[in-house]
Structure 1
Amino acid sequence: MLHTLPYPLFTPNRLAAAVALATSLPVFAQTTLSTVEVSAHRNAASLHLDQATPTGSRTGITARELPAAVSTVDALQMQERGDFQIREGITRATGITDIGSGGTGGLSFSARGYTGTNSVGIAEDGIRIQTGAGTQNYPGSAWGYERVEVLHGPASVVFGSGTVGATINAIRKEPSRTASQEAMAAVGTDGVKRLGVGATGGLGEIASYRIDAYGTDIDGYRDLGQSREAKLMSRLRLQPSSDLRVDLTADYSVNRPERYWGTPHDNGRILPELRRENYNADDAVIRYADTRLRARVEWQVNDRLSLSNELYHLESKRRWMNIESYTLNTAAHRVDRSDYLHIQHELAQTGNRLEASLKHGSHRAVLGWEAARVSFRHINNAPYGGSSSVSIQNPAHGQWFSPDATLAKFDTASTLHGFYAEDAWQFDERWLLLAGFRHDRANIYRDELVSGTDFGRSLTGNAWRLGLTHFLTRDTSVYAQYATGHDPVTSMISLNLANADFKLTRGKLVEVGLKQKLGNGLGEWSAAFYRIDKDDIVTRDPNNSALSIQGGSQYSQGIELAAALTPSPNWRFEGNVTRLQAEYTHLIERVSGVGVSRAGNTPANVPTFVANLWGHYRLGAMQTSLGLRHVGKNYADNANSLQLGAYTVADASIAWQVDGKTTLRLLGRNLADKLYATRTYNNQMILGEARRFELVAEMKF
């Protein structure tokens, strides 16, 4: 029985003792991250090809050396574009589209033909945040982060299971002994108010700190559109000697996003008159609270060997109390509401990563072991009864009520282990070979608090990659790689009995590409060509459609182009284009008791064309920027019966550098007030944001 386990494994006293131990012993850690300097204005465009990418490899190699595609969006780019949320900044990266909703915590993406939290992983400073019941809500706002990187394609060697499509890694700003402060204040249409402050500096002879605070208060353009967010990020760095460093991190955030679950459609047609309507209850609730504690020690033993140990504890408490399903009844001029949901998540993740970095001759290698214990409690009022009907326009929202009791339904306790090794071998001046292997093991125990059908399950997966980079010149490299990975069929730490017998799905990638820095400061560009095949997808038994089995498969193949150009001192351009084809090669779904093949269909939420373009013109103290984002058509279901139309959104900003410390910025989002949907939820379209303007003041001291 699950409740007989030593659960939770880490009590507060044990955690405190472990933190003390981690910070007192010179045990090992990862290669130190490179520091990125960000100034108030950028003179040259860059893809950051000469920057070390801890997201792409833990060996410390640069993006140009890496035989894989990686994208970087830095803090200044997000400022220039008005991307205040991590998810907004990420959708400017090559080929990434936002498919989030309130039900997924807002952080769910489509990448290279694979979608959702089971295929596109989320990390902060290299630590994966485990997903329970398909929900990911952290990190939220972009304030306090130096940059966000995306490793495209299978990333299981670096980040473990659930990363066949891509992995997104938010990298925070580091402490410095040089004192500096920054602040941001913004006001805008629809009652937008934002405030952010950050400071860093030295403390005594050996310490430095970094602290960031951020808050928003938004009324919203839609009925019941209010949202609130607040967070505090802090890090204390102790460096008693040049070869020993200790980082202590403590964060807390509370987020109350807009209580919106989509807009009902008329046979796939979005009705413009419903754009500002919301059919949720007056007293609806969405709330996320997250706590992060971390202790990291790095010890440079000698010129060849460094060790690090990273101990962390993460907690997420989430609550939803909403009406989540709406059906349009045009004949009666009503909207029928159902799915009165009350759900709570209590998630705690405590883990440790021990790593050794070795340099010997032409080799840069890492060996590591990650271990984590994750507890997850799911509280809900299933079967989610309740129904009502309201007018299509200006509805009387009413109060939330359900005849079903809200109870703790199940607990899970998961123990996760990952063992990995990588080696970057520069065996010739013009050749680099990157090889990596990882073994993951997950032991999941589920205690059914109502039904009593407890069970345990072990899942294992191996992943490896082999990549070769050839440097044609000092500024130009070509590469090829073969990589494998694995995804769970559902959120691993909330695995249910129906999926308990399924193993991890398998993905494999073949990719070739080019990365080049152009002469005379013109800029950088890259190209990647890839194919990913994924097997063991859950499908229906062709001989008995009532049975689910593994055996489905799909593929995706495409081309990704990215460039950052500075044709003259006044002009700067950044852009990327993705063209892909994704299809099921074998998938059977049950429809009205009959098995129906989806072979040849495009998976849901996968656009075949995505493009971003930004142009900046700077004259003296003024900079004008214009951006276009295009997302091609995609489908809401695997049957391809409901199509979401393509859309193009235009954004712009005008910045005035008042002096060396102050910049004023006028931002405009969705200038044409385009009406479009990013995805569907139940029987509704999730609409993109309407036109918005903000005036932002950015100050440095």
Structure 2
Amino acid sequence: MSYPFSPVFSRSNLPSLRPLFVATLGALPWLAAAQSAPVQLAPVEVSAGREVGTLGLDHATTSATRTGLTARETPASVSAVDAQQMRERGDFQVREAITRAPGITDIGSGGTGGLSFSARGYTGTNSVGIAEDGVRVQTGAGTQNYPGSSWGYERVEVLHGPASVVYGSGTVGATINAVRKEPSRVAAQEAMVALGSDGLTRLGVGATGALGEIASYRVDAYGTHIDGYRDLGNSQGGKLMSRLRLQPNSEFKLDLSADYSLQRPERYWGTPHDNGRLLPELRRENYNADDSVIRYADTRLRARAEWQMNAAWTLSNEAYYLESKRRWLNIENYKLNLPANRVDRSDYLEIQHDLEQTGNRLEASLKQGGHRAVFGWETARVNFRHTNNAPYGGSSSVAIRNPAHGQWFSPDPTLPKFDTATTLNAFYAEDAWQLGERWLLLAGFRHDRAAINRDELVSGSDFSRTLQGNSWRLGLTHFLTRDTSLYAQVASGHDPVTSMISLNLANADFKLSRGRQVEVGIKQTLAQGLGEWSAAFYRIDKDDIVTRDPNNAALSVQGGSQFSQGIELAAALTPWQNWRFEGNITRLQAEFKDLNERVGAAAVSRAGNTPLDVPELVANLWGHYRVGAWQASLGLRHVGQRFADNANTLRLAAYTVADASLAWQLNRQTTLRLLGRNLADKVYASRTYNNQFILGEPRRVELVAEFKF
């Protein structure tokens, strides 16, 4: 087995280091001043995950607000899946881990980069944002592929509902934030080795410790390979994450990060169906070409300086460079031809993305009296080139069973089609105001502006467009007791009608769609260590979605609207000695209030229909029993019925999948874990792509060895 690290550090694929150099040079005067004074060693940092059997209500959330509030204090629905839970459940991918959070379902595919979700009735990368340590990479052509594996992350957090005040446009449904493990001056190492069914292997290593008197580091590396259970099912990937922390005294800290990731996912685009009927016998078939390719390479550099100026003010600056290079070479459309016992293939696509994003966030934090406030400016420059072979010609026919895959060929040349240069600026302010012992008011405002310039390289007209939007939120938390808080909030946000940095001429005149949410909830810690629970009730209305003119079906206009409303319940309980339960359930209703779609020459109303990929019921339950050095765990995940079109004519049946884990802690340093996914080997469609069913993975068994030193 080999891991794809060897080409990582060649000179040709290293990006410019200018953002890190600029941030570092800006910090040198502070470092010099700190070094000229007597050295005061930084305090020893001890990082611990949340207590087992809780929802982490008393842990500070870095994803829901930038004011440092705990989850209990925050007047919003916040959930997290931490590293221990990911290990116990065998969630080696971020997308696997996050679907354990309330109401989140995976709708990703090869065409979206694998990271696309449904949350609170809103779907896809234009409504559910993805971030790492609070920094979002802008989405081009609906694609998001980073972060991939969950190794190296302390937790994955979700801010449910509109999050534009914190993250900007494209977050009306939710925002998912992967939080990295921090460097520590306390030396520690960890490793993980796994072997599993279908030729699966995994290897992960991590280390942290001190370097001299003022520095500490954190390094995490991960690699995986699987042969797969279907034709062309092999996949592999790897990454290296590194961070150096310089902390000459307790007032100043500088973090320098450098990461690289290379992914080659399974080249699978779905299984054709018989007018909505899933055919289990096709589970292991794949109709792609033998020489098909999916490849994602990501480079990330970051420098963050933080200076505590005095007891009240803290100043921070974060500069970063992100680069994504993606390539697809695939046959992506399959239709059953049962009378001929054939599958008809079309859409021979070759697509390449070259994305570079350079950004900076300057922020001032104030803690004085009852106020915890932040004021910030974010700016970014995004350059995006889209190369493809549109109009994606080519066709072929292969046998339904054991197809001869053949080679990819298209009569259409692959050429760079357009470049975009996007300049993003945002100004924000947020204040958490403690009104006595029992009340906390959180207010925030943000203004976003995006200047987009598109250069057509083959045909068409160049154009420029500026999009802007304001978002705000106002929330109130009431502490009934030290252990119980009630909250209410109203919030607004905005989504682009299509991926902003790949905006085309057809959508150039559309403004951002607007979302508004009303939410109330309760968060409580139960007495005698029984556990914690929370409940949230919400309604989100979204306006200015793209619809068809009812008098001219050929014309797209803004004016459509939709809504969702529901309840989310979550709990982590330890009712008896040695027993622990974790679970959540979401029930929601989502409908179009005003939407027309073109059918032939007519505009047909979809009012009252459920948006595609939105289940009305999602539930997760895990039970753990520990005796001595052994722990047995059983998990159930249920996703309700969904529709694969806005007409609600193609249904995806509900499914329930069972997972399990058996762990044996040999000693303080070593744990062996036997994992089972989809124990009943259920055949089910998790989502659709190009009107094909994306089938969930079959039964998988893994033996994992975990080491800590």
Shorter-normalised TM range: over 0.9
Report what 2:524 is aligned to. 516
Map 1:21-170 onto structure 2 (within 5 A): 21-24=25-28, 26=30, 36-38=47-49, 44-170=52-178
Counterpart selection for 1:242 from 246, 250, 253: 250
Structure 2 residue 557 is matched with structure 1 residue 546: no
Map 1:520-669 onto structure 2 (within 5 A): 520-669=528-677
Report what 1:6 is aligned to. none
Map 1:90-489 onto structure 2 (within 5 A): 90-489=98-497
Matches of 2:167 and 2:220, distance apart in 1: 27
Deviation, 1:452, is 4.2
Matches of 2:95 and 2:556, distance apart in 1: 34
**Is the Cα–Cα contact under 8 Å of residues 23 and 318 in structure 2 kept in the other structure?**
no
Instruction: Look up the SS of the partner of 2:339 in the other structure.
Output: coil
Q: Report the residue type matching 1:506 in the other structure.
A: R
Matches of 1:510 and 1:406, distance apart in 2: 47
Q: Report the residue type matching 1:162 in the other structure.
A: G
Structure 1 residues 43 and 437: CA distance shift in structure 2, 3 A = closer
Deviation, 1:24, is 2.3
Matches of 2:177 and 2:26, distance apart in 1: 24
Query: CA-to-partner distance for each residue in 1:381-403, whole Å, 9 max, x for gaps?
Result: 00000000000000000000000
Matches of 2:500 and 2:17, distance apart in 1: 28
Structure 1 residues 43 and 243: CA distance shift in structure 2, 3 A = closer
Matches of 2:374 and 2:686, distance apart in 1: 40
Matches of 1:662 and 1:469, distance apart in 2: 43
Matches of 1:367 and 1:191, distance apart in 2: 51
**Is the Cα–Cα contact under 8 Å of residues 470 and 493 in structure 2 kept in the other structure?**
yes
Report what 1:7 is aligned to. none
**Is the Cα–Cα contact under 8 Å of residues 15 and 323 in structure 2 kept in the other structure?**
no
Matches of 1:512 and 1:698, distance apart in 2: 41
Deviation, 1:679, is 1.1
Matches of 1:22 and 1:521, distance apart in 2: 48
Instruction: Look up the SS of the partner of 1:83 in the other structure.
Output: coil
**Is the Cα–Cα contact under 8 Å of residues 623 and 655 in structure 1 kept in the other structure?**
yes
Query: CA-to-partner distance for each residue in 1:262-304, whole Å, 9 max, x for gaps?
Result: 0000111110110000000000000000000000000011110
Matches of 2:131 and 2:15, distance apart in 1: 24
Deviation, 1:545, is 1.1
Instruction: Look up the SS of the partner of 2:411 in the other structure.
Output: coil
Matches of 1:515 and 1:639, distance apart in 2: 38
Query: CA-to-partner distance for each residue in 1:53-72, whole Å, 9 max, x for gaps?
Result: 01111000100000000010
Instruction: Look up the SS of the partner of 1:137 in the other structure.
Output: coil
- Give the structure-1-normalised TM-score: 0.96
Deviation, 1:43, is 7.3
Structure 1 residues 383 and 181: CA distance shift in structure 2, 3 A = same
Q: Which runs of 5+ in 2 are unaligned?
A: 1-13, 32-42
Matches of 1:450 and 1:92, distance apart in 2: 45
Matches of 2:185 and 2:291, distance apart in 1: 47
Q: Report the residue type matching 1:37 in the other structure.
A: A
Q: Report the residue type matching 1:354 in the other structure.
A: L
Structure 1 residues 43 and 501: CA distance shift in structure 2, 3 A = closer
Matches of 2:17 and 2:631, distance apart in 1: 53
Structure 1 residues 476 and 25: CA distance shift in structure 2, 3 A = farther
Give the alignment's Cα RMSD to 1 decimal. 1.4
Instruction: Look up the SS of the partner of 1:76 in the other structure.
Output: helix
Report what 2:10 is aligned to. none
Matches of 1:197 and 1:575, distance apart in 2: 30
Matches of 1:160 and 1:272, distance apart in 2: 42
Deviation, 1:127, is 0.6
Deviation, 1:17, is 4.0
**Is the Cα–Cα contact under 8 Å of residues 46 and 186 in structure 2 kept in the other structure?**
no
Deviation, 1:542, is 1.3
Instruction: Look up the SS of the partner of 2:228 in the other structure.
Output: coil
Structure 2 residue 19 is matched with structure 1 residue 19: no
Q: Report the residue type matching 1:213 in the other structure.
A: A
Query: CA-to-partner distance for each residue in 1:80-128, whole Å, 9 max, x for gaps?
Result: 0000000000000000000000000000000000000000000000011
Deviation, 1:22, is 3.8
Instruction: Look up the SS of the partner of 2:518 in the other structure.
Output: strand
Instruction: Look up the SS of the partner of 2:25 in the other structure.
Output: helix
**Is the Cα–Cα contact under 8 Å of residues 86 and 142 in structure 1 kept in the other structure?**
yes
Deviation, 1:129, is 1.3
Deviation, 1:427, is 1.1
Structure 2 residue 699 is matched with structure 1 residue 688: no
Matches of 2:683 and 2:205, distance apart in 1: 34
**Is the Cα–Cα contact under 8 Å of residues 373 and 430 in structure 2 kept in the other structure?**
yes
Query: CA-to-partner distance for each residue in 1:190-227, whole Å, 9 max, x for gaps?
Result: 00000000000000110000000000010011111000
Q: Report the residue type matching 2:66 in the other structure.
A: R
Deviation, 1:569, is 2.6
Q: Report the residue type matching 1:683 in the other structure.
A: N
**Is the Cα–Cα contact under 8 Å of residues 579 and 623 in structure 2 kept in the other structure?**
yes
Query: CA-to-partner distance for each residue in 1:138-183, whole Å, 9 max, x for gaps?
Result: 0000000000000000000000000000000000000000101000
Instruction: Look up the SS of the partner of 2:198 in the other structure.
Output: helix
Structure 1 residues 139 and 465: CA distance shift in structure 2, 3 A = same
**Is the Cα–Cα contact under 8 Å of residues 102 and 259 in structure 1 kept in the other structure?**
yes
**Is the Cα–Cα contact under 8 Å of residues 219 and 227 in structure 1 kept in the other structure?**
yes
**Is the Cα–Cα contact under 8 Å of residues 20 and 303 in structure 2 kept in the other structure?**
no
Instruction: Look up the SS of the partner of 1:567 in the other structure.
Output: coil
Matches of 2:162 and 2:96, distance apart in 1: 23
Q: Report the residue type matching 1:670 in the other structure.
A: N
Deviation, 1:21, is 2.6
Matches of 1:397 and 1:138, distance apart in 2: 29
**Is the Cα–Cα contact under 8 Å of residues 230 and 286 in structure 2 kept in the other structure?**
yes
Instruction: Look up the SS of the partner of 1:568 in the other structure.
Output: coil
Instruction: Look up the SS of the partner of 2:23 in the other structure.
Output: helix
* Deviating 4+ runs (over 6 angstroms): none
Matches of 1:608 and 1:636, distance apart in 2: 14
Alignment length (residue pairs): 684
Provide the identity percentage. Answer: 77
- Give the structure-2-normalised TM-score: 0.95
